[in-house]
Amino acid sequence: MSVSLLNQNYNGITYNPLNPFTINQTLLWKGDLDSLTFDQNTIKAKLLNLNQPCYIVSVNGQVGVTQEGYVITTTDSNSDNIKLIAISNPVGLENLGDRNFCHHHGVNYAYMTGAMAGGIASEEMIITLGKAKILGSFGAGGLSPDRLETAIKRIQGELPQGPYAFNLIHSPNEPSIEQRAVELYLQYGVQTVEASAFLDLTANIVRYRVAGLTLNSANQIEIHNKVIAKVSRREVATKFLQPAPPRILKELVQQGFISEQQAQLAAYVPMADDITVEADSGGHTDNRPLVCLLPSMVALRDEIQAQYNYTNPVRIGVAGGIATPQSSLAGFMMGAAYVVTGSVNQACLESGSCQHTKKLLAQAEMADVMMAPAADMFEMGVKLQVLKRGTLFPMRSQKLYELYRTYNSIEEIPLPEREKLEKQIFRKPLSEIWELTVSYLSQRNPEKLAKAVNNPKLKMALIFRWYLGLSSRWSNSGEVGRETDYQIWCGPAMGSFNDWVRHTYLAEPQNRHVVDVANHIMLGTAYLYRIQNLKMQGLQLNNFYTQYYPTTSTLEVCG
């Protein structure tokens, strides 16, 4: 079948006249002819005006677009009136994903920014986002309780009504840090926590969730402490999709952390309101592909919902690789209730990373990332995803891990190798690094220190962890002279974002505002949704229409 080009003044839009979706002879457009546009640029501007419908019409063989007028039906297939060939309803950003997410968290659209440890997801970032009614999660991981308390006070002071979230990161090596964070969240009435890195439920996360359960006068359970759990495995998702385990509830009642009534109410609510399914991402990641992981988790949620029949089913969102309108649209079309960005925000002005790091991030290509040993679970061989372009950290940390695997103590490492370490990586004698480690651990983790004194392999791990721990802080503080050692957590999303904005004002890191980036991703998502919808009606649109680029800042318009 040949497709005739009805469009004589070709503006890049064609349609198949035999396509039953496009030619519905009974649909006509009525309205002011002057509102019709036939020129490519004006058509695109109309398509981008998402709050209005778009009528695509055929006039004397030309395809035109208007946002005015109305549609009527006729039985006269030979009518001279203007034929409607496709229609696009207004595309509200609030309709992308699950509207309940917006309602539940008091936000404008179903988008959130994930936590970035060490305050990279800074107070400034969370406050700026919150003021624009976008949910951001403060990067509490790795911060001292005092520093976290300061952040809570500041964010609550600036955003008394929210929205904001705080990260609760599972810390198996230092359970007291996790416990202290929960105590602070309860003390200050932090109402939304992004729980991450959990392998199983702990008493801390259960306490946070259940201490926020009450029964109102209509005998309905109210959930005051919202949990957004970030997971990449089905077994962990299952725990958050189910009610809190009775064993932990019993312990918490005995300890006086929750009441008997709260323990009973806990049987009727899931552990999380939202589950962010995290595919291949910056930082800790299982490197799973989004397209495989998300459907599996949505199906798991449906199974567990059928079993428990919760009043409010758990929403499933998606993180990992979300950096462009296309990736965000893919997430929504696959059933995500909301999308979460991470890597792209680190390169923004509001992030707690230094200028040098932001510059490196803005130059990153998609393949400029790799897995490197993680400081927190170094001995177990756990890795996280970091930037490799412009820093030697991935190679150097990998070298440390190989030495750790090969030898049983620092003393066993051949002398020339040790000297190389002292010169190139540590820039100090290893004995001095051990002294620094001792003074740090005697404050923070004396039990670990005691174990290391009689365990040379552990001692070696702790010395190596000095480098792994500090290198991420150097990237935040902008430690001069240590640029080649910056540990910069980053996923392929960064390169994907850079590709998208390459020829736009957002190519420059000094122009990247976290709210503007969010607005453009979501506006682009809505726009591409409109384009896909028109394509499904049989329109063929050339690539002038099928791309969305950020041309101007949204900040003046959106505030």
Ligand X SMILES: Cc1cc2nc3c(=O)[nH]c(=O)nc-3n(C[C@H](O)[C@H](O)[C@H](O)COP(=O)(O)O)c2cc1C
The residue written with tokens 């950096």 in the block is 323
- Burial code (b: 16+ CB inside 10 Å, e: under 16) for 467-502 equals bbbbbbebbbeebeebbebbbbbbbbbbbbbbebbe
Sign of CA dihedral 181, 182, 188, 192: positive
Comparison of 57 and 116: residue with beta carbon closer to ligand X: 116
Tokens at 545, concatenated: 């229409």
Across-strand partners of 167?
Answer: 194
Residue 491 CB, shortest distance to ligand X, in Å, is 4
In this structure, the dihedral spanned by the alpha carbons of residues 29, 31, 35 and 40, taken in order and rounded to 10 degrees, is 0
- Going by C-alpha positions, the residue among 122, 281, 266, 273 that lies closest to residue 194 is 273
Residue 438, classified by CB atoms within 10 Å of its CB into exposed (0-12), middle (13-18) or buried (19+), is middle
Judged by beta carbon, residue 11 or residue 385, the one nearer ligand X is 385
Least separation in angstroms between residue 492's CB and ligand X is 7
Tokens of 435: 């002294």
Nearer Cβ to ligand X (364/493): 493
Shortest distance (Å) from residue 11 CB to ligand X: 36
37 bridge partner residues? 65
Least distance from ligand X to the Cβ atom of residue 518, Å? 12
Query: In the complex with ligand X, which residue's Cβ is closer, 84 or 140?
Result: 140
Give min distance, CB of 118 to ligand X, in A: 7
Task: Give strand pairing partners of 30.
Answer: 70
How far apart CA 103 and CA 94 sit, in angstroms, is: 10
| Spatial distance between the Cα atoms of 137 and 23, rounded to a whole number of angstroms | 48
Nearer to ligand X, 196 or 498 (CB): 196
Of the pair 44, 226, the CB lying nearest ligand X is at 226
341, β-bridge pairs: 113
In the complex, least distance from residue 320 CB atom to ligand X, rounded to whole angstroms: 4
Please compute, for residue 362, the number of CA atoms within 13 A of its CA located in the half-sphere on the CB side: 23
Nearest distance, CB of residue 385 and ligand X, angstroms: 8
The least CB distance from residue 525 to ligand X, in Å, is 15
Angle between helical axes of 325-333 and 290-308 (0-180°, round to 10): 30
Question: Which residues sit opposite 112 in a β-bridge?
Answer: 135, 340
The distance of closest approach from Cβ of residue 497 to ligand X in the complex, given in angstroms and rounded to an integer, is 9
Cβ nearer to ligand X, comparing 276 with 554: 276
CB nearer to ligand X: pick between 86 and 488: 488
Report the relative pairing of strands 135-138 and 54-59 from DSSP bridges: unpaired
Position closest to ligand X via CB? 342
Q: Which CB sits closer to ligand X, 283 or 331?
A: 283
* Residue labelled with tokens 């990237």: 475
Contact 501, 430 (CB under 8 A): no
Measured between alpha carbons, how far is residue 9 from residues 14, 262, 534, 546 in Å?
11, 69, 20, 19
Crossing angle of the two packed helices 430-444 and 446-453, in degrees rounded to 10: 140
Least distance in angstroms from the C-beta of 360 to ligand X: 12
Give a three-class secondary structure readout of 135-148. EEEECCCCCCHHHH
Q: Which two tokens stand for residue 201?
A: 């439920």
The whole-angstrom separation of Cα 254 and Cα 465 is 38
**Shortest Cβ 340–ligand X spacing (Å):** 6
Binding positions for ligand X, rule: CB under 6 A: 114-117, 120, 139, 141, 167, 169, 194, 196, 230, 278, 281-283, 319-322, 340-343, 346, 489-491, 493
| Nearest distance, CB of residue 490 and ligand X, angstroms | 6
Instruction: State the minimum distance, in angstroms, from the CB of residue 275 to ligand X.
Output: 12
HSE-CB of 35 using CA atoms within 13 angstroms = 15
Q: d(Cα 420, Cα 532) in Å, to the nearest integer?
A: 57
Question: How far apart are alpha carbons 40 and 37 in whole angstroms?
Answer: 8
Report the C-alpha gap between 229 and 403 in whole angstroms. 36
Return the number of the residue (14 or 196) whose C-beta is nearest ligand X.
Answer: 196
User: Nearest-CA neighbor of 205 among 174, 236, 227?
Assistant: 227
Compare residues 64 and 142 and give the one whose CB is closer to ligand X: 142
Q: CB count, 10 Å around CB of 122? A: 24
- The residue among 73 and 144 lying less far from ligand X, judged by its C-beta, is 144
- Closer residue to ligand X, CB minimum distance, 422 or 479: 479
**Closest CB 142 distance from ligand X, rounded Å:** 7
Q: Which residue lies nearer to ligand X by CB, 19 or 150?
A: 150
Coil, strand or helix at 122: coil
